[in-house]
Homo-oligomer: A and B are copies of this chain.
């Protein structure tokens, strides 16, 4: 089995080896898991975003730096920029998906990657993973018109269509395990303590 890598471009090389399944290098996956088991202090990560208001409902987040495995990440050479907005009916100029739509995307993305990683670890080759997410909201809450409806979605429904080289029961098990391990599913389903600090000038 030929293995050739340069540490500095590890992720981008995506060297195809016998251990690659669903686009995930499972040798590296298991090595990472073993390393974190033996040195739990390496498991402390911090992700970040900075945001700037651009007028009306238009604002932009920049995502780049993060802390991982004992140090600041140096592999990201460019920042990701994300524009948010609101459609006309919510008084914006449609400069991007709205924040609630971004939350649906975060949930879809995390469950999908969890499915792909769990399947890779369990030797299940996937051919496609698609999902549709819906979130129902009574906007009287967020608009402050009525104190009764909550501000956020009353409920979110995620519908997955998963296909791969495994029986339906096995594919369902993979989705169940992914749901039990997904970071964003945990946060959206269970909530997270959020501290908001304010400096004025």
Contacts and interface: CB of A to CB of B under 8 A. Distances in A.
A17 interface: no
A24 B197 contact: no
Contacts of A156: 192-195
A47 B104 contact: yes
A contact face: mostly helix, strand, loop, or mixed = mixed
Interface residues of A, number: 134
A149 B91 CA distance: 41
B189 A98 contact: no
A49 B195 contact: no
B53 A152 contact: no
A74 to B, nearest CB: 10
Interface string A108-121: 11111111110000
Given A100-B47, A163-B200, A25 B91 contact: yes
A77 B183 CA distance: 33
A51 B192 contact: no
Interface of A: 10-12, 14, 22-25, 28-29, 32-33, 36-37, 40, 43-53, 55-59, 61, 63, 66, 68-69, 73, 75-76, 80, 82, 84, 86-94, 96-117, 126, 128-146, 149-163, 168, 171-172, 175, 179, 181-201
The 7 residue pairs across chains A and B that have the minimum distance between CB atoms = A11-B88, A23-B56, A99-B110, A84-B109, A152-B187, A191-B191, A51-B108
